């Protein structure tokens, strides 16, 4: 094996278990005596040459990362464009790699990050700089191609299923004189995976959730309202799970804020829950409550899925193994072998087949009426939320999450000039 | 001990542990060979003579109630007025009690319910009907007088502290390029106990939450915005916990919906979180996210506080003991003996000193600047969220909550006519 440094960076929205992947990376690299640097705030930290020296973290801190949500080294929303459009930035990355003898680059993110990792590897090859680039999967949206599921999703899915089940018991108890319709808004811009997870809270037409609104299915107001009314009449109350990405027949997001976009060029969403609640109240005249868990659903490490945690650790360890074995332009993905019992393994997949693809729910995962999940979907989802992996709690009653002090390496290059690069 | 039946009813908003109190009641009564009926949907079920025969619940179901959120027998928002104004309804209650030989009435709720229990006991005494009425404390708002705390609050407080801590780690990881201000809306109409619980997520001025907005402190926009700006500049991000009951210097709720009131005559709230988020975005121009957990915070049995669960069970058992000992017009309350270590006991307190009172946060629990919790507040709160009491989980990854089938007693009286009563 050649000498060199391994660089790890987190990208995009963090999850309950992305730090577990980081922990897996550091543990695996230490076993192989390889030094690990981490980008401070993701790829931006690499451009700025703000690199964390993880060798200053003791074993307890590295272990503690596996039960700590958020992104310990910082993440960022910062998308590099094509090699042609952003060449100066890609070259800056390579310059930083060279300055610190980085020979293995592990980029932990979604499909945008897979694209960046792929382009960095192409530029390195063209420049004759020996570098292995590995994408490491992560996203609560579960929308990466090829892999059976994405680390981070299982825990957010478990949080959603449990929270819907709990809130539904509350609503059921009060419906006689109080709230009759409850709206639960989940994340998921274009893919309804988290909305589907809400469906695990119950079974059959009378158990909550009674209606799931997927981004894959255009919203029809009249049909929806009729279904809410029928459910309230039949069951006494109605629990609705709605994806933030719900859109109308015209393709526009219901909650579109009108031109506000994030750094990746996606429309910034939020608020379809209260919007639907207002609609139901106005049209049906019943008492409505709504919730928007927002970041709680992707940071709820206290309710992590054991399956998800195991997979998050495994992809981190596999990424190191692939890198050190000289694999390049690949991502360790999860391959399902059987559903019942659930068995899986990690295998490498080419980044070019993952970059910029977005995996939506297959049509057969949604019931024909468009408002629920099918048996096939349940069979797919259930193992992903199975098992509990609670963090240790402190005497004060909250989890003992770690917040390691980050020691930055001394810079070796001139400061990065975002305007010039 | 005289013969007779014990009637238990749940009232007002349910909690993560009110069923634990029900479980404690049924267990204690069974030990004394006393039959327990439960009002279907609270006091309304009594008026309607819809009484659940709990003897049909097997031991496993009764035990399971202790780990199941919501209200297993149904609760209601239905407030009886004064004896004079609502005499026909009070008399109907007594008629139902007589028809089923109810000699012990346990009403599990907040200060409105304490008031109802007190009035029923007064009417029974005036009518010469032997009846012991016991109030049993419950409210996530923690606003009952005399008792050290209220069952239900500790678990909602733990949920809030943990969720704020987790979301803060998410925001910290992303703040460089994404969300800089995060707003977390908690329940608490007039008392800031749950907002204060959010303060347990961190310590010191740089740890989240950086700002807590209490209903006890009138909101001042300019001071607030300056503090948000200063926090973002100093820490890089700002986490705000805001009570739904925040009001302006004019005394009006910030989120007042204009005339919409619940059955108790309280203004219906919700939405101060997004409102503040919009304000920050408009005035400071930074990216903002917000969450409104709504019912999730009071139904999150998966994250119950062990202290809270123990107390919820204890007040249920004590209520039975008091009733069977012939005590009347009292409530089992929690008396704190020491804070460190936390020790407590259950003692009886007169309902007349609890009915219709509302315990706000003491002034010395809020820091002089009005935006945080004091050391005294922390000392008070910490033991209440201490300890974990997770429910058993099923193989499908969600808790094995029980939903017992409720068997109603055959009616012995003419139907209740709400118009006539």
Determine, for residues A169 and B74 on separate chains, whether the beta-carbon distance falls below 8 Å: no
Task: Give residue A258's pLDDT.
Answer: 37
Cα distance between residue A312 and residue A310, in whole Å: 6
Supply B82's token pair.
Answer: 């004064």
Give pLDDT, residue B417: 87
Rounded to a whole number of angstroms, the distance from the CA of A343 to the nearest CA of chain B is 15
Residues 6+ apart with CB under 8 A from A241: A160, A164, A184, A186, A195, A198, A199, A209, A211, A212, A213
Q: Where in chain A is the domain with CATH 3.40.50.450?
A: 5-139+302-356
Per-residue pLDDT of chain B (421 residues; tens, 9 = 90+): 678 999 999 999 999 999 999 999 999 999 999 999 999 999 999 999 999 999 999 999 999 999 999 999 999 999 999 999 999 999 999 999 999 999 999 999 999 999 999 999 999 999 999 999 999 999 999 999 999 999 999 999 999 999 999 999 999 999 999 999 999 999 998 899 999 999 999 998 899 999 999 999 999 999 999 999 999 999 999 999 999 999 999 988 887 743 344 444 544 445 899 889 989 999 999 999 999 999 999 999 999 999 999 999 999 999 999 999 999 999 999 999 999 999 999 999 999 999 988 898 999 999 999 999 999 999 999 999 999 999 999 999 999 999 999 999 999 999 998 887 7
Contact B169/A290, CB-based, under 8 Å?
no
Q: Is B141 assigned a catalytic role?
A: yes
Separation of alpha carbons B20 and B15, rounded Å: 10
pLDDT of res. A241:
98
Q: To probe the interface with A, which of B174, B267, B287, B384 has the most A CB atoms within 10 Å?
A: B174
Q: Tell me if residue B417 falls in helix, strand or coil.
A: coil
Q: Say if strands A102-109 and A181-186 run parallel, antiparallel, or are unpaired.
A: unpaired
Strands B238-243 and B132-137: unpaired
CA geometry: angle at A225 spanning A223 and A228, to 5°? Answer: 110
Q: Do the Cβ atoms of B245 and B215 come closer than 8 Å?
A: yes
**Are B10 and A72 within 8 A, CB to CB?**
no
What percent of chain A has pLDDT above 90?
89
Cβ-nearest to A296 among B13, B163, B395? B163
CA–CA distance from B9 to each of B75, B106, B411 (Å)? 8, 6, 17
Cα–Cα distance measured from residue B284 to residue B281, given in angstroms and rounded to the nearest whole number: 6
Which residue has tokens 């020491």? B338
Q: What is the pLDDT of residues A14-72, one digit of tens each?
A: 999 999 999 999 999 999 999 999 999 999 999 999 999 999 999 999 999 999 999 99
In the predicted structure, residue A269 carries a pLDDT above the cut 60: no
Please write the tens of the pLDDT for every residue from A116-133.
Answer: 999 999 999 999 999 999
DSSP tag of B402 = -
The single-letter DSSP state of residue B247 is B
Which pLDDT score is estimated for B253?
A: 87
From chain B, pick out residues whose CB is under 8 angstroms from the CB of A156: none
B13/A398 Cβ within 8 A: no
The burial class, CB within 10 Å (0-12 / 13-18 / 19+), for B341 is exposed
Torsion B308-B311-B316-B317 (CA) sign: positive
- Domain B5-139+302-357 listed as CATH 3.40.50.450: yes
The whole-angstrom distance between A300's CA and the closest CA on chain B is 6
At residue B49, the pLDDT reads: 98
pLDDT band at A420 (very low <50, low <70, confident <90, very high): confident
pLDDT of residue A261: 46
Mean pLDDT of all residues in A162-182: 97
The dihedrals phi and psi of B37, each to the nearest 5 degrees, come to -105, 155
Of A81-95, A202-216, A259-273, A312-326, give the lowest mean pLDDT range.
A259-273
Chain A residues lying within 8 Å of B201, measured CB to CB:
398
Task: Return d(Cα A30, Cα A21) in angstroms, integer.
Answer: 14
Per the DSSP assignment, residues forming a β-bridge with B261 are: B267
Q: Where do you find CATH 3.40.50.450 in chain B? A: 5-139+302-357
User: CA torsion sign, B366 to B367 to B371 to B377?
Assistant: negative
The average pLDDT across A219-237 equals: 97
Q: Where in chain B is the domain with CATH 3.40.50.460?
A: 153-300
Q: Which of A141, A148, A308, A310 is catalytic?
A: A141
Q: What pLDDT shows up at residue A259?
A: 39
CB atoms A393 and B388 under 8 Å: yes
Q: Is the Cβ pair B387, A397 closer than 8 Å?
A: yes
**Residue carrying structure tokens 């969450």:** B291
Contact of B268 with B77, CB cutoff 8 Å: no
Chain B nearest C-alpha distance from A17 (Å):
11
- Indicate the burial class of A6 (C-beta count within 10 angstroms; 0-12, 13-18, 19 or more): buried
Query: Could you tell me which residues come within 8 angstroms of residue B250 by beta carbon, excluding any fewer than 6 positions away?
Result: none
CATH 3.40.50.460 residue ranges of chain A are 153-298
Q: Mean per-residue pLDDT for A202-226?
A: 95
Looking at the DSSP bridge assignments, the partners of residue A107 are A9, A135
Nearest CA-CA partner of B157 in B295, B304, B294: B304
Q: What does the pLDDT read at residue B52?
A: 98
List chain B residues with CB under 8 Å of A167: 294-296, 299
First to last CA, chain A: 33
Query: Residue A115 and residue B110: Cα distance in Å, rounded?
Result: 56
Cα separation, A402 vs A395, in Å, equals: 15
Contact B115, B356 (CB under 8 A): yes
As a whole number of angstroms, the distance between CA B217 and CA B366 comes to: 9
C-beta neighbour count of B195 within 10 angstroms: 30
pLDDT for the residue B77: 92
Distance from CA of A104 to the nearest CA of B (A): 23
Exposed/middle/buried for residue B267 (C-beta within 10 Å: 0-12, 13-18, 19+):
middle
Q: Measured between beta carbons, which residues in chain B are less than 8 angstroms from residue A165? A: 398-399, 401
- CATH number for the domain running over B153-300: 3.40.50.460
**End-to-end alpha-carbon separation of chain B, Å?**
33
Picking from B170, B177, B396, the nearest residue to A298 by CB comes out as B170
Q: Residue A122: how many CB atoms within 10 A of its CB?
A: 17
Q: What is the mean pLDDT of chain A?
A: 94
Which residues, 6+ apart, have CB-to-CB distance to B205 below 8 Å? none
- Between chains, do B70 and A169 touch, taking CB under 8 Å as contact? yes
CATH topology of domain A5-139+302-356: Rossmann fold (3.40.50)
pLDDT above 60 (res A319): yes
Q: How confident is the model at residue A1, as a pLDDT?
A: 62
Q: Cis check for the bond before B359: say yes or no (omega within 30 of 0).
A: no
At the second CATH level, the architecture of A153-298 is 3-Layer(aba) Sandwich (3.40)
- Per-residue pLDDT at A205: 87
CB distance A203 to A216 below 8 Å: no
């Amino acid at each position: 094996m050649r000498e060199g440094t391994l660089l790890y960076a987190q990208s995009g929205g963090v999850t309950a278990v992305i730090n577990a992947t980081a922990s897996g990376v550091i543990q695996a690299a230490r076993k192989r005596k390889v030094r690990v640097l981490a980008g401070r705030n993701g790829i931006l930290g690499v451009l700025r040459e703000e690199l964390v020296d993880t060798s200053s973290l003791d074993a307890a801190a590295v272990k503690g990362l596996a039960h700590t949500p958020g992104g310990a080294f910082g993440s960022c929303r910062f998308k590099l464009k094509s090699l042609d459009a952003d060449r100066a930035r890609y070259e800056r990355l390579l310059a930083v790699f060279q300055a610190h003898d980085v020979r293995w680059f592990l980029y932990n993110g979604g499909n945008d990050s897979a694209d960046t990792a792929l382009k960095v590897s192409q530029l390195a090859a063209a420049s004759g700089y020996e570098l292995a680039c590995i994408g490491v999967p992560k996203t609560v949206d579960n929308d990466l191609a090829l892999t059976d599921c994405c680390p981070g999703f299982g825990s957010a899915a478990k949080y959603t299923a449990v929270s819907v089940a709990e809130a539904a018991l509350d609503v059921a108890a009060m419906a006689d004189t109080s709230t009759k319709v409850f709206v639960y808004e989940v994340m998921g811009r274009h893919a309804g995976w988290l909305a589907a997870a809400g469906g695990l809270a119950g079974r059959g037409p009378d158990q909550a959730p009674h209606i799931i609104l997927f981004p894959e299915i255009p919203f029809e107001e009249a049909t929806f309202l009729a279904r809410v009314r029928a459910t309230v009449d039949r069951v006494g109350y109605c629990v609705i799970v709605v994806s933030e990405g719900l859109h109308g027949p015209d393709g526009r997001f219901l909650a579109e804020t009108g031109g506000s976009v994030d750094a990746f060029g996606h429309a910034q969403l939020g608020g379809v829950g209260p919007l639907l609640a207002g609609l139901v109240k106005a049209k049906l005249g019943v008492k409505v409550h709504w919730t928007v868990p927002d970041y709680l659903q992707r940071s709820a490490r206290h309710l992590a899925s054991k399956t998800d945690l195991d997979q998050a650790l495994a992809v981190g360890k596999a990424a190191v193994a692939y890198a050190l074995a000289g694999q390049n332009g690949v991502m360790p993905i999860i391959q399902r072998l059987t559903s019942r019992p659930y068995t899986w393994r990690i295998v490498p997949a080419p980044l070019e087949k993952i970059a910029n693809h977005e995996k939506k729910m297959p049509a057969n995962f949604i019931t024909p009426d468009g408002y629920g999940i099918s048996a096939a979907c349940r069979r797919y989802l259930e193992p992903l939320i199975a098992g509990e992996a609670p963090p240790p709690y402190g005497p004060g009653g909250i989890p003992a999450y770690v917040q390691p002090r980050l020691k930055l390496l001394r810079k070796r290059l001139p400061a990065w000039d975002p305007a010039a690069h």
